[in-house]
């Protein structure tokens, strides 16, 4: 089965062709980083305009690289949400037009579900139940996946996403955009014990994440110590590198600590760590160590599949197409689309593993 995936939910226009849900035939990504970096974040109007410019050549390139004709595909999968409305609409409208013209089946895919499927290309098949940590610029969630296509959020961020925290802290320190890769690079030369940040805990005892307090703590530290943000092109000071390492370390401790704690309660057979922040090697290392302690395999996508791409959308879409799911031409973008369709009370879930088979 050959599926075309289309992704345009944020600032990457992407198209990919995937065979049988796990063989990557071609993947094309046009990134808008250059356009948004001077603003220190994504500007929605500029993003949708750029998607409009790029969608046709990106899809064409995916077919050219795959050496596949449009008639040969068996279906089209497109990101329908969550994301920026103007950006999503470009992909959704284009996919609908293509499905109509080619008379091919169409499915809408949740972007977060796509990130979960980004691990299928380079890892053994996922064994269920799985626990997936999805960490990106817009999302930070831990999902329990009792069986394919069933999702329950078991931890979520109460405020900023982890990637957003990396981006905001980088901006605060004058480091540029996107912040994640820059902070990771500086952290390698910094002392992660230099500044003691504590892992945020919820007052109600829930295992949720919170990163906005951490950003405030970094800002307070900068103010109180008189640390100077980096000026254009300057080499960051050792103090900045130490701060980057300390910040990264507490984010990683928070994410991996929660994943490990919930694994001890939910007994997953596979751990998945995906989304843009999954590029981070400190996060990968700590996740591997936790997985070893738990004696469970952990799967990551390679870096080019960690950040937004269309291969993951095609992979998730293939499962839906195979299950007979079809979208009509009334398919619309859903900016706040959620990924949760497995409703079991937390307490009940913890009491017995039998509930996985519901
Ligand atoms: O998945 P993604 O491309 O887009 C969203 O769906 O949000 O994730 C982008 C996010 C950005 O916030 C970026 O700073 C972060 O992923 N990121 C990283 C690293 N590479 C990208 N964060 C930490 N360490 C990295 N190496
Ligand atoms: Zn994403």
CB neighbours (10 Å) of residue 116?
25
Ion ligand 2: residue ranges with CB closer than 5 A: 136, 308
Strand locations in the chain, DSSP E? 2-7, 12-19, 23-31, 75-81, 106-110, 130-135, 140-145, 152-156, 270-274, 298-299
Q: How far apart are the first and last CA of the chain?
A: 29
- The verdict on 171 and 251 lying in the same domain is yes
Confidence class of residue 347 from pLDDT cuts 50, 70 and 90?
low
Torsion angle in degrees (nearest 10) through CA of 172, 174, 180, 185:
-130
- The verdict on 168 and 35 lying in the same domain is no
Confidence class of residue 356 from pLDDT cuts 50, 70 and 90?
very low
The predicted structure's pLDDT at residue 296: 97
- The verdict on 95 and 171 lying in the same domain is no
CB 256 within 8 A of CB 290: yes
Q: Is the CB of 309 under 6 A from ligand 1?
A: no
Q: Which one, of 299, 355, 332, lies nearest residue 122 by Cα?
A: 299
- What is the rounded average pLDDT of the residues 56-60? 97
Confidence class of residue 344 from pLDDT cuts 50, 70 and 90?
low
The predicted structure's pLDDT at residue 42: 82
Confidence class of residue 176 from pLDDT cuts 50, 70 and 90?
confident
Residue 73 lies in a domain: yes
Distances in Å between the Cα of 182 and the Cα atoms of 100, 148, 242 are 43, 35, 13
The predicted structure's pLDDT at residue 11: 87
- The verdict on 137 and 257 lying in the same domain is yes
Q: Is the pLDDT of residue 246 over 60?
A: yes
Q: Is the pLDDT of residue 351 over 70?
A: no
Provide the residue count of the chain: 358
The predicted structure's pLDDT at residue 128: 95
Residue 124 lies in a domain: no
**In this structure, what are the phi and psi dihedrals at residue 160, rounded to the nearest 5 degrees?**
-75, 150
Residue 266 lies in a domain: yes
Confidence class of residue 346 from pLDDT cuts 50, 70 and 90?
low
- What is the rounded average pLDDT of the residues 290-309? 96
- The verdict on 114 and 243 lying in the same domain is no
- The verdict on 290 and 316 lying in the same domain is no
**CA-CA distance, 308 to 305, in Å (whole number)?**
7
Residue 340 lies in a domain: no
The predicted structure's pLDDT at residue 33: 81
Which residues lie across from 157 on neighbouring strands? 209
* Domain ranges, residue 36: 2-118+304-322
- The verdict on 41 and 165 lying in the same domain is no
Residue 224 lies in a domain: yes
The predicted structure's pLDDT at residue 41: 76
Q: Is the CB of 163 under 6 A from ligand 1?
A: yes
Q: Is the CB of 200 under 6 A from ligand 1?
A: no
Written as six digits, the tokens of 228 are: 């100077």
Query: Which of the two residues, 62 and 10, has the higher pLDDT score?
Result: 62
The predicted structure's pLDDT at residue 40: 74
252-299 pLDDT, tens digit each:
999 999 999 999 999 999 999 999 999 999 999 999 999 999 999 999
The predicted structure's pLDDT at residue 350: 56
- The verdict on 160 and 67 lying in the same domain is no
The predicted structure's pLDDT at residue 221: 96
- The verdict on 82 and 108 lying in the same domain is yes
Tell me how far the alpha carbon of residue 217 lies from the centroid of ligand 2, in angstroms. Answer: 26
Residue 175 lies in a domain: yes
Q: Is the pLDDT of residue 357 over 80?
A: no
Residue of 307, 308, 339 to test ligand 1 pocket, by largest number of atoms within 8 Å of CB: 307
- What is the rounded average pLDDT of the residues 41-61? 92
Q: Is the CB of 83 under 6 A from ligand 1?
A: no
20-30 pLDDT, tens digit each:
999 999 999 99
Q: Is the CB of 138 under 6 A from ligand 1?
A: yes
Tell me how far the alpha carbon of residue 307 lies from the centroid of ligand 2, in angstroms. Answer: 6
Say which ligand is closest to the CA of 276: 1
CB 80 within 8 A of CB 88: yes
- The verdict on 316 and 287 lying in the same domain is no
Q: Is the pLDDT of residue 358 over 60?
A: no
- The verdict on 82 and 187 lying in the same domain is no
- What is the rounded average pLDDT of the residues 189-212? 94
Tell me how far the alpha carbon of residue 163 lies from the centroid of ligand 1, in angstroms. Answer: 5
CATH of the domain at 63: 3.30.420.40
**CA-CA distance, 310 to 329, in Å (whole number)?**
21
CB 255 within 8 A of CB 119: no
Q: Is the pLDDT of residue 352 over 90?
A: no
Q: Is the CB of 11 under 6 A from ligand 1?
A: no
**CA-CA distance, 338 to 325, in Å (whole number)?**
18
Chain centroid to CA 133: 9
Confidence class of residue 355 from pLDDT cuts 50, 70 and 90?
very low
Q: Is the pLDDT of residue 345 over 80?
A: no
Q: Is the CB of 118 under 6 A from ligand 1?
A: no
Q: Is the CB of 166 under 6 A from ligand 1?
A: yes
- When the pLDDT of each residue in the chain is averaged and rounded to a whole number, the result is 93
Q: How many domains does the chain have?
A: 2
- What is the rounded average pLDDT of the residues 93-100? 98
The predicted structure's pLDDT at residue 177: 84
Residue 348 lies in a domain: no
Written as six digits, the tokens of 280 are: 């981070």
- What is the rounded average pLDDT of the residues 120-124? 96
Closest ligand 1 atom, residue 167 Cα: 14
Distances in Å between the Cα of 5 and the Cα atoms of 132, 216, 343 are 22, 39, 29
Residue 125 lies in a domain: no
Closest ligand 1 atom, residue 307 Cα: 3
Closest ligand 1 atom, residue 178 Cα: 14
Q: Is the CB of 167 under 6 A from ligand 1?
A: yes
- The verdict on 92 and 233 lying in the same domain is no
């Amino acid at each position: 089965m050959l599926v075309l995936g289309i992704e345009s939910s944020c600032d990457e226009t992407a198209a990919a062709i995937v065979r049988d849900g796990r063989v990557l035939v071609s993947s094309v990504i046009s990134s808008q980083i250059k356009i948004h970096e001077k603003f220190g974040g994504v500007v929605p109007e500029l993003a949708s305009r750029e998607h409009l410019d790029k969608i046709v050549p990106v899809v064409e390139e995916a077919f050219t690289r795959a050496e596949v004709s449009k008639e040969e595909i068996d279906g089209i999968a497109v990101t329908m949400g969550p994301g920026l409305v103007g950006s999503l609409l470009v992909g959704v409208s284009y996919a609908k037009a293509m499905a109509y013209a080619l008379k091919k089946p169409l499915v809408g895919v949740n972007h977060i579900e796509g990130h979960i499927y980004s691990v299928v290309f380079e890892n053994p098949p996922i064994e269920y139940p799985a626990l997936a940590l999805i960490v990106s610029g817009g999302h930070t969630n831990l999902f329990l996946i009792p069986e394919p296509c069933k999702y329950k959020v078991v931890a979520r961020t109460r405020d900023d996403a982890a990637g957003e925290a990396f981006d905001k802290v980088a901006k605060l320190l004058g480091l540029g955009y996107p912040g994640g890769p820059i902070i990771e690079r500086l952290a390698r030369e910094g002392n992660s014990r230099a500044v003691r940040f504590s892992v945020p805990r919820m007052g109600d005892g829930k295992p949720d994440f919170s990163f906005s307090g951490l950003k405030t703590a970094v800002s307070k530290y900068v103010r109180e110590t008189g640390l100077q943000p980096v000026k254009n092109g300057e080499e960051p000071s050792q103090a900045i590198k130490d701060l980057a390492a300390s910040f990264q370390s507490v984010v990683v401790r928070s994410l991996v600590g929660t994943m490990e704690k919930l694994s001890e309660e939910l007994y997953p057979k596979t751990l998945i760590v995906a989304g843009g922040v999954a590029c981070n090697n400190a996060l990968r290392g700590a996740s591997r160590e936790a997985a070893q302690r738990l004696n469970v395999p952990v799967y990551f996508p390679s870096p080019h599949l960690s950040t937004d791409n269309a291969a993951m959308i095609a992979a998730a879409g293939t499962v839906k197409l195979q299950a007979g799911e079809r979208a009509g031409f009334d398919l619309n973008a859903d900016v706040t689309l959620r990924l949760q369709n497995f409703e079991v009370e937390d307490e009940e879930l913890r009491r017995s593993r039998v509930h996985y088979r519901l």
